[in-house]
């Protein structure tokens, strides 16, 4: 459905996107996972023909897409990162306006507007101005506009940023539903759990480059010889963490509220040394969990920085 | 084209919903035009009326043409009020304002002394007297000019009689007939006013047109600046991602501006004509000028807006440009009467060309406004070209 080859874009000296390639098949949800400034938005701006490329190629259904191309754009629905709607128009007016730009016949547009209002849960507020909506409702309308013309590829750029947990869950459920209906989805996020939940395949992007790509299981294989040990504890956790970093085989140590997360090669070999070091640092351990590494750990391993950086 | 109309229709809906358009495009120019028109109308030429006292002591044959013919004719046209006085003293008192009829505010007195006709007819020196009111310089100067003109006419007739009888004294008996013939002979040279009095807008029309043009530049900015607003609200990316040509986005904005500008001007023209009595001139000529002026306003404001990076910056730049050009262009006062550099500088603005075109139309035909229309279209072409070059970069990041 969408193929991006060796996309490149620089702003002055900064190479925002440096040779990004990926492809998405029909019915597949592909995630671009990376922290802020990694090059996600610039990549998808080139992918949907919003931005001129310095290099590379974009193919939609095998046909090249450029910013001047109009016909192919009808196959793509875009949900920008920032809200992109008219606050002084009603939800219905917003949808109808963008529907007309996609040359939808009048009768079909009316039906589709009602359908989309139902999908995004705004049927009862259809005739209210968008500036009277809550943040979550505006986000849902923002997604609805991208869906209106029934695109074959839906591109969502961090659609849940700044959304309350309830609305966020509703948005994710909608996207899961769309994916199951055969829509190709390109989804960018810096939330690991969203990528894990929604995406069939994930591209980890950092500093304008795809560092690794695959299914969640394939990415986890990168750290197949590693375990994630979560130690619930009290006491001087940061001193304990410092002691753990000196143990052979320990790759990463993170201190969170009331716990220390440790990425370690072969946890069975190092567990006794870890517990001993913490005890000597004055840390009291109240629980131990051993899991497979998650995408956060993979990202940290590949880029040397956290998704929240 | 269809997508451009869709964008324009959406913009117009937004502008109608945004009530500030009514203030900028209608209420403010109408209100200000009404105020300016009412303030300046008392000195309007159309309403000028003078009051003259006339003391015809002579009652002779040469007094009658002046009193009944010249002054009586002006009184019939409504340009002069005549107050008849029985004596020279009474006429003088009326002008000086200490007589029993001082309430009539007499601007000048014309006194025809006793034996005036007899003295002229017998070739003796005679005089006509004019008493001027120091507080009515314009009207009293007019009285003096009228009487001087009549005296020159008498001089011309007397010259004809004197010349003929000097060569043929036998015809002295026919002096009255010769005088009559000379008086009825048309003047060999005549003066026709083709400048100021005919190619000039009256005050109400001038201020109505000036303020309409001034606010036209504010009105069109609603459409022109909406491209910046699209970027502010993030919707520009949606428009760029939609399957529509990029030029249609700009065309849609231009259609919005053009529609708003034309409707605003049309309402102001109709309102100032019917409510304030403005006389805009030949409708076809006015329509041509309005279309050209609206196009130039869109071009100029698009160029200014294209220099801005944000919608807030765009509004500030546009306002500064609209006010600055409006003042230089003479929309608030007839800057051409200031003379010198200012009078020439005004032609760097479309406002001045629009007002010039209306003035030309008032004293001529549609053909006379073609230079103004050409100038306005030149403004449109130049400013639109610059605006498009700047916007092309914005629409192709």
Q: Which domains does chain A have, with CATH numbers?
A: 2-220 (3.40.50.300), 224-292 (3.30.70.100)
Q: Determine phi and psi for B57, rounding to 5 degrees.
A: -75, -30
* pLDDT above 50 (res B330): yes
The CATH code that applies to domain B48-184 is 3.40.1710
Q: Tens digit of pLDDT for each residue in B343-392?
A: 778 888 998 899 888 888 887 788 888 999 999 999 999 998 998 888 87
Helix (H) or strand (E) holding B110: strand B108-112
Q: Name, of A78-82, A96-100, B336-340, the range with top average pLDDT.
A: A96-100
Cα A117 → chain centroid: 24
Give the span between the Cα atoms of A122 and B210, in whole angstroms.
49
* pLDDT above 90 (res B194): no
Q: Tens digit of pLDDT for each residue in B3-30?
A: 899 998 888 888 888 777 777 777 777 7
Q: Determine phi and psi for B281, rounding to 5 degrees.
A: 105, -165
Contacts of A58 in chain B (CB under 8 A): none
Per DSSP, what are the bridge partners of residue A2?
A24, A60
pLDDT at position A96, please?
94
Give the span between the Cα atoms of A202 and A79, in whole angstroms.
19
pLDDT at position B197, please?
42
pLDDT at position B199, please?
57
pLDDT over 70 percentage in chain A: 97
- What are the CA-CA distances from residue B364 to residues B192, B196, B287, B360, B367 (Å)? 15, 12, 16, 6, 8
Beta strands (DSSP E) in chain A are: 2-11, 14-24, 29-33, 55-60, 63-64, 76-79, 153-157, 184-189, 201-206, 209-214, 226-234, 250-256, 259-265, 284-291
Q: Tens digit of pLDDT for each residue in B252-277?
A: 988 988 988 888 888 888 888 887 77
Residue A276, SS3?
A: helix
A70 to B235: CB separation less than 8 angstroms, yes or no? no
B13 to A93: CB separation less than 8 angstroms, yes or no? yes
Measure in Å the smallest separation between the Cα of B364 and chain A Cα atoms. Answer: 48
Burial class (CB in 10 A: 0-12, 13-18, 19+), A110: middle
**In this complex, which of B13, B14, B245 lies closest to A70 when CB atoms are compared?**
B245
Contacts of B7 in chain A (CB under 8 A): 101
- List b or e across A70-102, with b for residues whose CB sees 16 or more CB atoms inside 10 angstroms: eebbbbbbbbbbebbbbeebbbbbbbbbbbbbb
A306 CB-near residues (< 8 Å, 6+ apart): A35, A296, A299, A300
Helix (H) or strand (E) holding B50: strand B50-56
- Output the six-digit token pair for A87: 């606050």
Q: Tens digit of pLDDT for each residue in A202-244?
A: 888 888 888 888 888 787 777 667 778 888 988 898 999 999 8
B17 to A93: CB separation less than 8 angstroms, yes or no? no
Give the span between the Cα atoms of B44 and B279, in whole angstroms.
13
Give A129's DSSP letter: B
Quick check: B241 contacting A, CB < 8 Å?
yes
What number is the average pLDDT over the span A294-304?
A: 74
Tell me the pLDDT band of B43, cut-offs 50, 70 and 90: very low
- What are the CA-CA distances from residue A162 to residues A33, A191, B366 (Å)? 17, 12, 62
Angle between helices A165-180 and A135-147 (to 10 degrees): 10
- What are the CA-CA distances from residue B355 to residues B107, B285, B318 (Å)? 35, 12, 21
Mean residue pLDDT of chain B comes to 81
Q: Tens digit of pLDDT for each residue in A6-21?
A: 999 998 888 889 888 9
* pLDDT above 90 (res A68): no
| Residue ranges of B 323-382 with Cβ closer than 8 A to chain A | none
CB-based contact A130:A90 (threshold 8 Å):
yes
Mean residue pLDDT of chain A comes to 85
Q: How many CB atoms lie within 10 A of CB A111?
A: 12
pLDDT at position B10, please?
87
B237 to A78: CB separation less than 8 angstroms, yes or no? yes
Tell me the pLDDT band of B192, cut-offs 50, 70 and 90: low
* pLDDT above 80 (res B229): yes
pLDDT at position B104, please?
58
As annotated, the residues of chain B forming the CATH 3.40.1710 domain(s) are: 48-184
What number is the average pLDDT over the span B237-246?
A: 87
- Output the six-digit token pair for A78: 């875009």
Tell me the pLDDT band of B151, cut-offs 50, 70 and 90: confident
* pLDDT above 90 (res A94): yes
Quick check: B5 contacting A, CB < 8 Å?
no
pLDDT at position A171, please?
80
B241 to A82: CB separation less than 8 angstroms, yes or no? no
């Amino acid at each position: 459905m969408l193929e991006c080859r060796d996309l490149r874009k620089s702003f002055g000296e900064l190479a925002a996107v440096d040779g990004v390639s990926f492809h998405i098949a029909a019915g597949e949800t592909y995630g671009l996972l990376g922290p802020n400034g990694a090059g996600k938005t610039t990549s998808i701006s080139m992918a949907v023909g919003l931005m001129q490329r310095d290099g590379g190629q974009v193919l939609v259904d095998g046909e090249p897409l450029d910013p001047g191309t109009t016909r192919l754009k009808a196959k793509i629905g875009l949900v920008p990162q920032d809200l992109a709607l008219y606050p002084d128009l009603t939800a219905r007016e917003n949808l109808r306006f963008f529907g007309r730009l996609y040359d939808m016949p009048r009768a079909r547009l009316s039906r589709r507007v009602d359908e989309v209002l139902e999908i995004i849960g705004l049927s009862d507020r259809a005739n209210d101005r968008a500036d009277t909506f809550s943040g979550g409702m505006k986000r849902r309308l923002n997604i609805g506009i991208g869906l209106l013309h029934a695109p074959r590829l839906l591109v969502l750029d961090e659609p849940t940023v700044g959304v309350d947990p309830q609305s966020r869950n509703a948005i994710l459920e909608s996207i899961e539903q769309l994916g199951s209906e055969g829509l190709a989805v390109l989804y960018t996020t810096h939330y690991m759990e969203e990528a894990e939940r929604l995406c069939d395949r994930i591209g980890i992007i950092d500093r304008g480059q795809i560092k690794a790509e695959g299914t969640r299981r394939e990415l986890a294989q990168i750290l197949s010889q590693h375990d994630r040990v979560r130690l619930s504890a009290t006491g001087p956790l940061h001193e304990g963490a410092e002691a753990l970093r000196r143990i052979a085989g320990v790759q990463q140590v993170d201190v969170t509220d009331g716990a220390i997360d440790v990425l370690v090669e072969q946890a069975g070999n190092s567990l006794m040394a870890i517990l001993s070091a913490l005890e000597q640092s004055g840390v009291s351990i109240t629980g131990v969990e051993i899991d497979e590494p998650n995408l956060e750990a993979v990202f940290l391993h590949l880029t040397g920085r956290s998704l929240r950086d | 084209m269809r997508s451009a109309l869709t964008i324009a229709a959406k913009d117009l809906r937004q502008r109608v919903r945004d009530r500030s358009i009514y203030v900028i495009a209608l209420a403010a120019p109408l209100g200000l035009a009404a105020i300016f028109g009412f303030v300046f109308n008392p000195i309007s030429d159309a309403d000028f009326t003078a009051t003259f006292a006339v003391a015809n002591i002579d009652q002779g044959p040469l007094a009658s043409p002046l009193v009944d013919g010249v002054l009586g004719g002006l009184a019939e046209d409504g340009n002069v009020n005549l107050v008849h006085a029985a004596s020279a003293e009474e006429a003088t008192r009326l002008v000086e304002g200490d007589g029993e009829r001082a309430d009539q505010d007499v601007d000048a007195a014309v006194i025809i002394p006793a034996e005036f006709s007899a003295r002229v007819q017998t070739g003796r020196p005679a005089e006509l007297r004019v008493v001027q009111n120091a507080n009515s310089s314009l009207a009293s100067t007019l009285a003096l000019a009228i009487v001087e003109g009549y005296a020159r006419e008498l001089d011309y007739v007397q010259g004809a009689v004197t010349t003929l009888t000097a060569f043929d004294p036998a015809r002295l008996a026919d002096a009255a007939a010769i005088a009559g013939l000379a008086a009825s002979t048309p003047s060999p040279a005549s003066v026709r006013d083709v400048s100021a009095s005919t190619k000039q807008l009256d005050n109400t029309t001038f201020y109505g047109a000036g303020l309409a043009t001034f606010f036209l530049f504010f009105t069109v900015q609603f459409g022109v600046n909406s491209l910046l607003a699209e970027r502010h609200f993030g919707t520009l990316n949606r428009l760029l991602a939609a399957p529509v040509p990029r030029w249609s986005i700009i065309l849609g904005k231009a259609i919005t501006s053009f529609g708003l500008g034309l409707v605003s001007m049309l309402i102001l023209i109709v309102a100032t004509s019917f409510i304030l009595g403005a006389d805009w001139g030949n409708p076809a000529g006015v329509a041509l000028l309005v279309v050209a002026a609206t196009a130039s306003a869109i071009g100029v404001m698009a160029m200014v807006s294209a220099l801005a990076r944000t919608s807030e910056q765009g509004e500030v730049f546009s306002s500064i440009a609209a006010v600055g050009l409006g003042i230089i262009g003479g929309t608030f006062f007839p800057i051409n009467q200031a003379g010198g550099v200012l009078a020439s500088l005004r032609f760097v603005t479309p406002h001045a060309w629009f007002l010039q075109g209306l003035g030309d139309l008032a004293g001529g035909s549609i053909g006379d406004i073609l230079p103004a229309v050409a100038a306005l279209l030149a403004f449109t072409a130049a400013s639109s070209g610059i605006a498009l070059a700047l916007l092309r970069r914005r629409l192709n990041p």
